[in-house]
Structure 1
Amino acid sequence: MEEVNLLVFIEVKPGKRNEQIEAYRKLKPTVLAEQGCLRYELLSDDTDENKFILVEKWESQAALDAHDESAHMVAADAHSPTFRAGPAVVKRASAAN
């Protein structure tokens, strides 16, 4: 099976930065405990306080699919429009060998 790497570009509404960080802090332990989760890390854009990059690494597409369908992610996705400026942009990435 091939690992799946995701870069998730997030922009929050002005003044909602802390809500994004808190949502991530609540989810992080649950996501890292999921089978197949190898990395789940929120990075802050150094040039724009309203932008973040979520770095995810999954051991397989099946693990990522199970993550996306989990109750905690469905709930998180339903809540995120309250503080995000728009939908996240998800990019798949691979090691450049």
Structure 2
Amino acid sequence: MTDGRKTWTPEEINRAVNLRNQGHAWRAIARRLGRSDTMCRFQYERHTSKPVKAQPQANLVTPKVSDIRAERAPDSEPLPVGHPIVMQVIWHGIARRAAD
């Protein structure tokens, strides 16, 4: 996380720019420099005069239950009760019930 520093040294800015030009993610750059990913991106944009465009997200389509069942092997076992996905579904259902 950050240590509350406000000023950036030229070495830090150059390192952030070099890391980004090498293809590193903002979060990885921030971790290496001990800064926030937002501030790393801001300094990059400021130093290079190139605005960073958001990456287009993949077309997020929710698959149909029938498609999911078709992908599963016919002899596959259901997820165990303590599995994180199962617990997420359980808590989601409880939260919906509480909201109603």
TM interval, shorter chain, is under 0.3
Greater Rg over alpha carbons, structure: 2
Higher relative contact order (CA 8 A, sep 6+): 1
Q: Higher strand share goes to which structure?
A: 1
